[in-house]
Amino acid sequence: MTDPNAIQPSALDQLPDRDPEETAEWRASLDAVAREAGPHRAAYLMRRTLERAEAGGIALPKLLETDYVNTIPTAAEPAVPGDEAMETRITAWNRWNAAAMVTRGSKYGVGGHIATFASAAWLYETGFNHFFQGKEADGSGDQLYIQGHASPGIYARAFLDGRLNEGHLDNFRQESGGNGLPSYPHPRRLPWLWEFPTVSMGLGPLSAIYQARFNRYLTNRGIKDVSASHVWAFLGDGEMDEPESTAALALAAREELDNLTFVINCNLQRLDGPVRANFKIVQELEAQFRGAGWNVIKTLWGSAWDELFQLDTTGALVRRLREVPDAQIQTYQTRDAAYIRADFFGKDPALVEMAKLLSDDKILECFHLSRGGHEARKVYAAYKAAVEHKGAPTVILAQTVKGNTLGEGFASKNANHQMKKLTVDEFKTMRDLLDLPIKDSDFADGQVPYGHPGADSPEVRYLQERRAALGGPAPARRTHALAPLPAPAEKAFASFDKGSGSQNVATTMAFVRLVKDLVRDKETGKRWVPIVPDEARTFGMESLFPSLGIYSPKGQTYEPVDRDQLMYYKEAKNGQILNEGITEAGSMADFIAASSAYATHGEAMIPFYIFYSMFGWQRTADQMWQLGDQLGRGFLVGATAGRTTLTGEGLQHADGHSPVIAATNPAALTYDPAFAYEIAVVVREGLRRMYGEAKPGEDQNVFYYLTVYNEPLPQPAKPAGLGIDEGIVKGLYRFNTAESAGVTAPANAPRIQLLGSGTAIHWALEAQQLLAEEWGVAADVWSATSWSELRRDAMEADAALLRGEERVPYVRQALQGAEGPVLAVSDYMRQVPDQIAQWVEQDWSSLGADGFGLSDTREAARRHFGVDAQSIVVAALAQLAKRGEVKATAVKEAREKYGL
């Protein structure tokens, strides 16, 4: 028989046991406790022992879950400074006005959300009164990522503070008149208030982590000391289902971002029901964050529960709270005391006895009202512990009731996210509950009134005094009056004008060479933020490693394997490159933080993020909208671009559509440059527009998307003549004519205009030769650097015409007088060049790489998609044949000649 007290084989058997007898005694002691006092007592002792070991610095695996109780005991809670009664009145006014705003707007059908702020009111009010640093505080103040659906409460507080008036509140979700409030936090719509757009759920937590990380980057690089700034991200427990919400938890812990606090409003409800109906979301999140290395604070139960926990001498209450699923906790919120006695207390004899000591009112107070997230003292204790914790980020799991104080019709109801209004009677009940001095007669014609105690009332004075002590209003966005950055020396750009001679250079490499020169600029070089999601060597960026360094908060604690090489892997605490590993989402979050530093920190930074073009707009387009929403500035660079240039990689790497997606973003200026000098012109113009002297009426809050290619080709010199730079910036210029190209075509030969972008212009140039030499056709070749900018200009001309202004689109001006039809080609789907078709007066046709990508050589892939030089020739002849300018038989002959 096996001895039950013997130590069974385990992973620990691989380690030497210096005292087997002592080990056996410990195991026997544990068995004895389990046998005599029960397994629950044994588990309790083990948890306490593990907690003691962790507190003592003994190296053991961390305990991932703790009991379903508050992390900070009531006896350890610090007193809340200030006037708690006053803060209660302020919170009541905010609750009222948030609900009134949405209800009044509901008659126009614009909707709104009431229940989220109702659950989170104290989470915000405690922060505003005691923790959130304003813009006049040290560093740059705090950065607040407000939960999107809680925006009515933030507007209500700004109303109380005098930053908004009743007219603003009455225009909630009605912005077209120019005096409205956006539904959710949105810097582009309300740029003096909101810093961060957060309602695309999941992006807020991801961005908050990288914002906290970027704050450290700015400090460590000596750009600005923002070590006093703290990042607060307010999130919903349902929002944590989004993969982006937890995608960077390990980064935050690894880099010890103790300047970051997540506050997760655990009201146990997502949009249409429980978050974890059959499980416990708080315990799940605790394990997830603890496992990632975060400091976790649970603020679950209000002070009414103190009596119950004191009566819990057997641990039965704690056990029952751990086993009851979230959906049942939600049900208790809506049921009477008899139901709770039977269903909650009736499952354990010890709890039955406990319930006998509790009145019905006490049970209802605990299960209906008393949550940690609804009590200022408990929230304050959690926030204070969070900001004082060092060496790791903190997450606060605050349990609340969704729809709290809105009445029985709202609290914990599955449908409360979609409930947009309260009745007059429900408002009167709410008024009485909140003890607000609003009279029945104030409800004129059934309209709920806004409430305000007066601009000189004790409540408003208190609110404003607290904000003044903390550095000014919050949330707030400041656009600093920054001096334009000086333009880099012209030499850096002009060096590309002469071309590469006989050397083959890919445009990806040309861009990297340009940036390498720009980061050396004495005035602006330090402001460049190179961002790459791994594979920097693919893009030729390894030369930047030793000169700029890769940012790491720990510096370099090892000897790199390639230390003896010229371009070794160098990490540094003040490194300039953000080399993120395999995370496009993280890299975009980096870019967003850097691109908006001009507002967040009053420091203009110039981020460029280089990535496989296929994995940019396709994978992270939502963040690129977030970038536009946040008024970010910088350069996105889609490298190894195009459907056919990345040989062998196949469908998943073949980008034939990123310019289409980019064209949908109003803040994105998309360029597909063909030559190195075009890249130089676009980057120079981008620096001027975003960071230099803006032209009258010009929006600086834009970002550039450049597609660059990995195909080494000769880079020509910039053509001589006026207007080339203007054409590059506006999107189109004539690169050459048949005559200037030196091709031989008969006098009075049929003529066609070939428009190409990016790498496709090389196919057009080859087709130009074939058309002249083999078919007697003269072709002029145009470089279309930006199809989307041409389209935007044309659309603006159309809009001007409707206003009675005469304006000719630039594309029509550029092509005016050009003979023959127009044939456009790119390494993207035809929809890309077809953007401008309706504004071209000549006969129009296009070629493109439509469909899925494939693995093959460049030549074979281009033949497959029908975009190679020979395919262009056939398409050109077909266009001319329709016009009767070449024989119809020429098309068939060409097809057979080239084997198409």
The gap from C-alpha 346 to its chain's centroid, in whole angstroms, comes to: 47
Element (H, E) at 159: helix 151-160
Angle between helices 84-106 and 458-469 (to 10 degrees): 100
CB 365 within 8 A of CB 333: no
Looking at the chain, the number of H-run helices and the number of E-run strands are: 33, 20
pLDDT for residue 176: 85
CB 579 within 8 A of CB 550: yes
pLDDT for residue 53: 81
- Per cent of the chain over pLDDT 70 is 97
Q: What is the mean pLDDT of the chain?
A: 93
Q: Cis (ω within 30 of 0) for the bond into 475?
A: yes
Q: Are strands 528-532 and 606-612 parallel, antiparallel or unpaired?
A: parallel
φ, ψ for residue 137, nearest 5 deg? -80, 180
CB 526 within 8 A of CB 223: yes
pLDDT for residue 277: 93
Question: Among 44, 49, 168, which residue's Cα sits nearest to residue 97?
Answer: 168
Tokens of 836: 């401008």
Tokens of 819: 């003979």
Element (H, E) at 770: helix 760-775
CB 214 within 8 A of CB 593: yes
| Confidence category of residue 80, pLDDT binned at 50, 70, 90 | very high
pLDDT, tens digit, for every residue of 619-669?
999 999 999 999 999 999 999 999 998 877 878 889 999 999 999 999 999
The yes-or-no verdict on residue 14 having pLDDT over 80 is no
Higher pLDDT, 61 or 763: 763
Residues 174-186 have a mean pLDDT of 90
The yes-or-no verdict on residue 2 having pLDDT over 60 is no
pLDDT for residue 205: 97
pTM above 0.85, yes or no: yes
Residues 86-100 have a mean pLDDT of 97
Question: Residue 451: which residues within 8 A CB-CB, separation 6 or more?
Answer: 93, 96, 97, 100, 436, 438
Half-sphere exposure in the Cβ direction for 451 (13 Å, CA): 27
Residues 784-797 have a mean pLDDT of 98
pLDDT for residue 6: 47
Distance CA 627, CA 630 (A): 5
Distance CA 13, CA 59 (A): 18
- Per cent of the chain over pLDDT 90 is 80
Distance CA 119, CA 116 (A): 5
| Confidence category of residue 52, pLDDT binned at 50, 70, 90 | confident
Helix, strand, or coil (residue 476): coil
CB 135 within 8 A of CB 476: yes
pLDDT for residue 8: 45
The yes-or-no verdict on residue 555 having pLDDT over 70 is yes
pLDDT for residue 13: 56
Higher pLDDT, 106 or 840: 840
DSSP codes joined into one string, 872-888? HHHHHHHHHHHTTSS-T
The yes-or-no verdict on residue 9 having pLDDT over 50 is no
Alpha helices in 578-723 (DSSP H): 584-595, 597-600, 617-629, 658-663, 676-691
pLDDT for residue 541: 87
For the chain, the first-to-last Cα distance in angstroms comes to: 82
pLDDT, tens digit, for every residue of 194-204?
999 999 999 99
Question: Residue 233: which residues within 8 A CB-CB, separation 6 or more?
Answer: 145, 204, 205, 208, 260, 261, 262, 263
Lateral strand order in the sheet of 751-756 = 733-736, 778-783, 751-756, 822-825, 844-847
pLDDT for residue 414: 60
Residues 677-699 have a mean pLDDT of 95
Higher pLDDT, 422 or 825: 825
pLDDT for residue 672: 98
Lateral strand order in the sheet of 231-236 = 143-145, 231-236, 260-266, 394-399, 295-299
182-204 burial, b at 16+ Cβ within 10 Å, e below that, comes to: bbbbbbebbbebbbbbbbbbbbb
Residue 581: C-alpha distances to residues 251, 338, 563 (Å): 11, 56, 20
Question: Residue 669: which residues within 8 A CB-CB, separation 6 or more?
Answer: 686, 702, 703, 704, 705, 786, 788, 789
The yes-or-no verdict on residue 607 having pLDDT over 80 is yes
140-160 burial, b at 16+ Cβ within 10 Å, e below that, comes to: bbbbbbbbbbbbbbbbbbbbb
pLDDT for residue 10: 47
The residues pairing with 528 across neighbouring beta strands, listed in sequence order, are 606
pLDDT for residue 407: 78
Tokens of 33: 């406790």
Distance CA 11, CA 261 (A): 36
Q: Where are the beta strands (DSSP E) in 715-797?
A: 733-736, 751-756, 778-783
φ, ψ for residue 125, nearest 5 deg? -60, -40
Question: Among 627, 611, 638, 618, which residue's Cα sits nearest to residue 690?
Answer: 627
The dihedral of CA 146, 150, 153, 158: what is its sign?
positive
| Confidence category of residue 131, pLDDT binned at 50, 70, 90 | very high
| Confidence category of residue 408, pLDDT binned at 50, 70, 90 | confident
Distance CA 857, CA 413 (A): 60
The residues pairing with 610 across neighbouring beta strands, listed in sequence order, are 637
Residues 409-433 have a mean pLDDT of 78
DSSP codes joined into one string, 164-194? S-HHHHHTBT--TTSS-B-SS--TTTSTTT-
CB 873 within 8 A of CB 768: no
Distance CA 635, CA 137 (A): 31
The dihedral of CA 754, 756, 761, 764: what is its sign?
negative
| Confidence category of residue 569, pLDDT binned at 50, 70, 90 | confident
pLDDT, tens digit, for every residue of 35-50?
988 888 888 888 888 8
Residues 869-897 have a mean pLDDT of 96
- Exposed, middle or buried: residue 126 (CB in 10 Å: 0-12, 13-18, 19+)? buried
Residues 73-87 have a mean pLDDT of 96
The yes-or-no verdict on residue 1 having pLDDT over 60 is no
pLDDT for residue 416: 58
Higher pLDDT, 441 or 721: 441
Distance CA 838, CA 756 (A): 17
| Number of neighbours of residue 178 by Cβ within 10 angstroms | 6
Q: Which amino acid is at 735?
A: F
Q: Are strands 528-532 and 578-579 parallel, antiparallel or unpaired?
A: parallel
The dihedral of CA 855, 858, 862, 867: what is its sign?
positive
